[in-house]
Amino acid sequence: MLNAGDSTSPLAGEHRDSERVLGEAGVPFTVLRNGYYTEGYTGQLGVYLEAGEIVGAAGNGRISAARPSTCPGWRGSSPRPPARR
């Protein structure tokens, strides 16, 4: 999750909490995160097709996603897509 501190996404909480704890530790830090994984979108295709749109933080902008295997630190297993709410 990029820009977790400014995001209203329900998925941002864990990332925001992690950054808060790091900040409270009193040591300099840099957080490197991958963008949103493709599976986060493909797992919701039925919802998007039914709604006729993909609703997200990009508003009317474009989205981009990455396959986990193209990201640093990938160990061969894909993350599970977010649970439907």
Q: What is the mean pLDDT of residues 48-66?
A: 77
* pLDDT at residue 67 tops 70: yes
Q: Which residue has the higher pLDDT, 56 or 15?
A: 15
* pLDDT at residue 72 tops 70: no
Q: Where are the domains of the chain?
A: 4-70
Give the whole-number percent of the chain exceeding pLDDT 90.
6
5-26 per-position pLDDT tens digit: 787 777 788 888 888 899 899 9
SS3 for 47-83 is: HHHHHCCCCCCCCCCCCCCECHHHCCCCCCCCCCCCC
CB 74 within 8 A of CB 3: no
Q: Residue 33's pLDDT is what? A: 74
pTM for this one? 0.46
